């Protein structure tokens, strides 16, 4: 497998590698931009977001562009200026925020993706990455060991947009040979950015509260088991998929991806192994509880394991130790 600190291969084109990360200031985008700049050099990876990010290194350490994915003219300008060989399109409105602003969520998530796919087709971009989510599943989906191909009946706008996006990605690959690749992320947990409005975000905030010595108020009920993944595994999975030979890939909608599954009381207990005084109380939020109860408890990612040798490195205990080791320096 490729290492995040060694040069990656030239992908799909003879042009020098030039990479665009849209949504670079988000939870996934920030760490992915760092990994790509470490791999390719800071001058070859353009960070882009709709506003100037709080993370100043995104602007100071390499090129940055203010980019609204709903602005086709601006996308075209950036594409012509840099002649990208890879695009990572991460801009989206997440599940809980999407329920509060459904029309905006659909517009940004759906039309933003279509604008990027169309630009990739027109400018002959070598490879495109777009993240899907376990939100594509719904109440009728098998909740345990959810298979790659199954009933998909999402009941959130975020889920609608991700399911439709998967079909568009597959369509652009089949009809125009746009090499677009995707993963259905579980809840992502990392220490470098704050939560961004998702249903699984409690599993990030809980560590911040624990390190700050505060009681944590959880918006999900005990026993609400959901699939989760530590950010280093998510970054490695993303890059390994992008560098996998095209001929080995059998899925062009989005791959199931699994790391670990746990309920709120389990992550609280893991933290208490290090911080015995830490306390959690439960104040379920009806919207996010309903969303969580419509999602899988565990994921079958055997197709990803077969096609490009995916395997996670972190479980709950290992992740918790690493999160608590890093967070004090950031508080």
The residues that are catalytic are: 158
Can you read off the two tokens belonging to residue 289? 């509880």
Closest CA to 270 of 307, 298, 228, 306: 228
- Do the beta carbons of residue 179 and residue 126 sit within 8 Å? yes
Closest CA to 237 of 298, 291, 181: 181
Rounded (5°) CA angle 109-114-119: 130
Residue 228: φ, ψ to 5° = -135, 165
- Do the beta carbons of residue 157 and residue 106 sit within 8 Å? yes
- Do the beta carbons of residue 21 and residue 33 sit within 8 Å? yes
The SS3 call for residue 197 is: coil
Q: How many helices (H) and strands (E) does the chain have?
A: 13, 14
Token pair 């985008």: residue: 29
Can you read off the two tokens belonging to residue 273? 């192994």
- Distance, in Å, from the CA atom of 297 to the CA atom of 263, rounded to the nearest integer, reads 9
- Distance, in Å, from the CA atom of 198 to the CA atom of 219, rounded to the nearest integer, reads 11
Q: What is the DSSP letter of 16?
A: P
Token pair 């690493």: residue: 322
């Amino acid at each position: 497998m490729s290492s995040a600190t060694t040069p990656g291969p030239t992908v799909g084109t003879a042009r020098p590698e030039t990479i665009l990360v849209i949504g670079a200031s988000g939870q996934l985008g920030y760490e992915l931009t760092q990994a790509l700049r470490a791999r390719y050099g800071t001058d070859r990876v353009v960070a882009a977001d709709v506003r100037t990010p709080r993370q100043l290194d995104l602007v100071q350490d390499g090129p940055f562009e203010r980019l609204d994915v709903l602005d086709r003219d601006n996308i075209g300008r950036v594409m012509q200026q840099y002649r990208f060989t890879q695009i990572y399109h991460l801009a989206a409105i997440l599940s809980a925020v999407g329920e509060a602003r459904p029309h905006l969520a659909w517009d940004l998530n759906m039309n933003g993706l279509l604008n990027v796919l169309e630009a990739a087709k027109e400018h002959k971009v070598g490879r495109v990455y777009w993240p899907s989510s376990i939100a594509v599943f719904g109440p009728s989906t098998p909740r345990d060991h959810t298979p790659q191909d199954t009933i998909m009946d999402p009941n959130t706008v975020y889920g609608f947009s991700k399911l439709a996006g998967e079909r568009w990605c597959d369509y652009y690959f089949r009809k125009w040979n746009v090499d677009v690749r995707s993963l259905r992320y579980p809840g992502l947990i990392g220490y470098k950015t704050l939560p961004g409005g998702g249903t699984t975000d409690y599993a990030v905030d809980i560590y911040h509260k624990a390190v700050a010595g505060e009681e944590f108020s959880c918006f999900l009920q005990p026993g609400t088991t959901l699939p989760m993944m530590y950010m280093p595994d998510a970054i490695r999975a993303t890059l390994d998929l992008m560098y996998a030979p095209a001929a080995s890939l059998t899925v062009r909608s989005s791959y199931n991806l699994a790391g670990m599954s746990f309920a709120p009381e389990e992550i609280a207990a893991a933290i208490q192994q290090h911080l015995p005084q830490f306390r959690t109380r439960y104040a379920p939020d009806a919207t996010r509880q309903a969303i969580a109860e419509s999602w899988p408890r565990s994921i079958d990612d055997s197709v990803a394991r077969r096609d490009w040798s995916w395997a996670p490195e972190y479980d709950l205990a290992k992740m918790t130790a690493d999160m608590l080791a890093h967070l004090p320096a950031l508080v």
